[in-house]
């Protein structure tokens, strides 16, 4: 598995190997051993969403302690622009974001650590996104920050995003009292 670190190095693109033959390809989407070697957490739940229309935007979501979630995001069909915003107080990249296009054809995955807001917008119709999370869904810990917050200056590439009521009414980043703290970690191999 190849690993690419983005401009915020804790956010990574994982590139599982694909073995191709006349039938198509085979790939190992997840290996507990390989992710542990990268220093990633154990994942406890798989989630999947289907977005039928291009321009469907989900985010910017987070889950607070005691149930914070790291995510490993994959696209099973279609394509997304995947975005992670650093929400760790004291981080040198606090309030900055990184993004990466994930699509089913390329098979890349994006790892989003605890302490980051996460969201994506669909670039194709009938996009299926699967993501592993490191803790269970806890409704009392669930929250969102406004996807279009001008302070974050994220270029989603859409003018009229299709949103949930939760995402339409999300708080501004400046109003978000982040529970996440930056802690310098040893570099991941």
Residues labelled as active-site residues: 61, 131
Please return the burial class of 153, using the count of CB atoms within 10 Å of its CB with bins 0-12, 13-18 and 19+. exposed
Task: State whether the Cα torsion 49-60-178-130 is positive or negative.
Answer: positive
Residues 108 and 29 sit within 8 Å (Cβ to Cβ): no
Strand order from edge to edge, sheet including 97-103:
97-103, 79-86, 116-122, 57-63, 142-144
User: d(Cα 77, Cα 4) in Å, to the nearest integer?
Assistant: 22
Quote the DSSP letter at residue 170.
Answer: P
Q: Got the DSSP string for 92-123? A: TTTT-EEEEEEETTT--EEEE-TTEEEEEEES
User: d(Cα 58, Cα 121) in Å, to the nearest integer?
Assistant: 6
CA distances from 25 to 16, 20, 21 (A): 12, 4, 6
């Amino acid at each position: 598995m190849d690993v690419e670190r983005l401009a915020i190095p804790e956010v990574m693109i994982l590139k599982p190997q694909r073995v191709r033959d006349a039938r198509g390809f085979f790939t190992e989407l997840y290996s507990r051993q390989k992710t542990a070697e990268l220093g990633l957490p154990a994942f406890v739940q798989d989630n999947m969403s289907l977005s039928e229309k291009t321009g469907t935007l989900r985010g910017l979501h987070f889950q607070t302690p005691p149930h914070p979630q790291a995510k490993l995001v994959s696209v099973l069909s279609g394509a997304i622009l995947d975005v992670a915003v650093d929400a760790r107080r004291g981080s040198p990249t606090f309030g900055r974001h990184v993004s990466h296009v994930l699509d089913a054809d390329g098979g890349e995955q994006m790892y989003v650590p605890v302490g980051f807001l996460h969201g994506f917008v669909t670039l194709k119709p009938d996009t299926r996104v699967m993501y592993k999370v490191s803790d269970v869904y806890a409704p009392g810990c669930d929250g969102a920050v406004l996807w279009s917050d001008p302070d974050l200056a994220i270029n989603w590439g859409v003018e009229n995003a299709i949103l949930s009521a939760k995402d339409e009414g999300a708080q501004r980043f400046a109003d978000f009292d982040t529970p996440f703290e930056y802690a310098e970690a040893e570099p991941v191999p």
